[in-house]
């Protein structure tokens, strides 16, 4: 047996003895079969703050992006289970093993589907301790209220010229009780006091219209082949994010005082701002998204699309569309502003 092998054997023996001692020490100090003890409160007995992560929308099932971080101070190791009650169709829970004592941040994973767009308070339980956190109404709501009877009053600035040369200054939009299923989505019906009907749907932070390639409550094209579906708002995208609608067959020209032309239209959308306050109707509205809308037209037999109209639309969480500014070809701006609203 040579010296090198003896050295290796001697070192390995020492290492095994050391590991054996460490293992024995760990077994003696771990509470393998007991429950961890600890507190959700600080030294003054006040509940520690919780951090709410993710967006919470009515009818949208929670995913791995929805969770709550709670602060715990473990006073002994062992198994733990920290959970909330079930409120408004949602609950949060995590279980595991606390290897160390002292402060720790525990991630409670969210489950379920929000039923109503309301502020929701949850009770967090750990052993015999209880604390609370609230998902605010602003987080629970989305940008398209769909409850029957909700309404918005809008004003044209300046007023449009309607039938018989009568200026149209104001109109009202009301959510009807009718809803329709199309392409895997539920479209809600929005009727106006001008006898027009619009259809909107929402799906996991993306909002759709089944209609024409126009601005809301404004007609641009002489004729549209048929209604088509397109996303008009995507709250999941960052500022600068953009997308385009599908193509739609249209007849265009009268809006600009030109002979009508057959062709195709599409809309390009770009997120300009998110989470900003917005002043409208003498109020400061929080949590708004502003989207730039550009409408393009391609005449049959030509190459490329031409920008024919652009503008911005502002949407508020829990309210919906609150302001729209359309840049007209003559350099003026047509504004459609919310003056009053009631969300049921």
Question: d(Cα 149, Cα 221) in Å, to the nearest integer?
Answer: 30
Range list of H helices, the chain: 3-29, 137-140
Whether 157 contacts 167, CB under 8 Å? no
Q: What is the pLDDT of residue 2?
A: 43
Question: d(Cα 226, Cα 176) in Å, to the nearest integer?
Answer: 22
Q: What is the pLDDT of residue 23?
A: 38
How many Cβ atoms from other residues are within 10 Å of residue 80's Cβ? 20
Q: Mean pLDDT by 10-residue block, N- to C-terminus, for the chain (344 residues)? A: 37 37 41 82 85 77 88 93 94 94 94 83 93 74 88 86 65 92 92 91 92 89 89 95 96 75 96 94 91 96 94 94 93 92 87
Beta bridge partners of 143: none
Q: What is the pLDDT of residue 70?
A: 92
Tokens of 259: 């002979």
Based on the number of CB atoms within 10 Å of its own CB, is 299 exposed (0-12), middle (13-18) or buried (19 or more)? Answer: middle
Q: What is the dihedral of CA 171, 175, 177, 178, to 10 degrees?
A: 90
CATH topology of domain 37-140: Immunoglobulin-like (2.60.40)
Tokens of 325: 């500014």
Peptide bond into 158 cis (omega under 30): yes
Q: What's 256's DSSP letter?
A: G
Whether 116 contacts 58, CB under 8 Å? yes
Question: d(Cα 73, Cα 44) in Å, to the nearest integer?
Answer: 13
Tokens of 187: 């479209």
Describe the chain by its helix, strand, coil percentages, rounded to 5. Answer: 10, 55, 35
Query: Per DSSP, which regions of 281-332 are E strands?
Result: 283-299, 306-316, 320-327
Q: What is the pLDDT of residue 30?
A: 54
CATH of domain 151-342: 2.40.360
For the chain, state the CA radius of gyration.
30
Domain boundaries along the sequence of the chain: 37-140, 151-342
Tokens of 334: 């047509």
């Amino acid at each position: 047996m040579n010296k090198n092998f003896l050295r290796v054997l001697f070192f390995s023996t020492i290492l095994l003895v050391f590991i054996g001692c460490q293992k024995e020490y760990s077994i003696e100090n771990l509470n393998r079969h007991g429950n961890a003890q600890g507190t959700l409160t600080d030294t003054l007995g006040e509940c520690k703050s919780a951090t709410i992560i993710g967006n919470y929308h009515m009818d949208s099932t929670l995913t791995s992006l929805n969770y709550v971080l709670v602060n715990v101070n473990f006073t002994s190791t062992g198994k733990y289970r920290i959970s909330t009650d079930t409120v408004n169709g949602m609950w949060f829970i995590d279980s595991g093993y606390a290897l160390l004592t002292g402060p720790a941040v525990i991630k409670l994973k969210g489950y379920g589907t929000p039923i109503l767009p309301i502020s929701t308070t949850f009770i967090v339980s750990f052993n015999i301790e209880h604390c609370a956190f609230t998902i605010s109404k602003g987080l629970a709501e989305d940008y398209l209220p769909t409850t029957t009877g909700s309404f918005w009053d809008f004003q044209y600035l300046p007023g449009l010229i309607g039938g018989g040369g009568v200026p149209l200054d104001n109109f009202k939009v009301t959510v009807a009780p009718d809803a329709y299923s199309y392409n895997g989505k539920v479209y809600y019906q929005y009727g106006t006091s001008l006898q027009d009907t619009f259809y909107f749907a929402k799906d996991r932070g993306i909002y759709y219209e089944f209609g024409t390639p126009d601005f809301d409550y404004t007609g641009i094209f002489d004729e549209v082949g048929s209604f088509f579906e397109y996303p008009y708002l995507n709250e999941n995208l960052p500022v600068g994010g953009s997308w385009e609608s599908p193509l739609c067959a249209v007849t265009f020209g009268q809006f600009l005082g030109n002979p009508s032309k057959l062709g195709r239209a599409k809309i390009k959308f770009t997120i300009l701002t998110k989470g900003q306050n917005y002043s409208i109707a003498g109020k400061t509205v929080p949590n708004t998204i502003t989207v730039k809308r550009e409408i393009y037209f391609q005449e049959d037999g030509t190459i490329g699309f031409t920008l024919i109209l652009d503008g911005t639309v502002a949407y508020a969480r829990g309210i919906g569309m609150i302001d729209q500014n359309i840049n007209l070809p003559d350099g003026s701006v047509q504004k459609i502003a919310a003056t009053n609203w009631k969300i049921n």
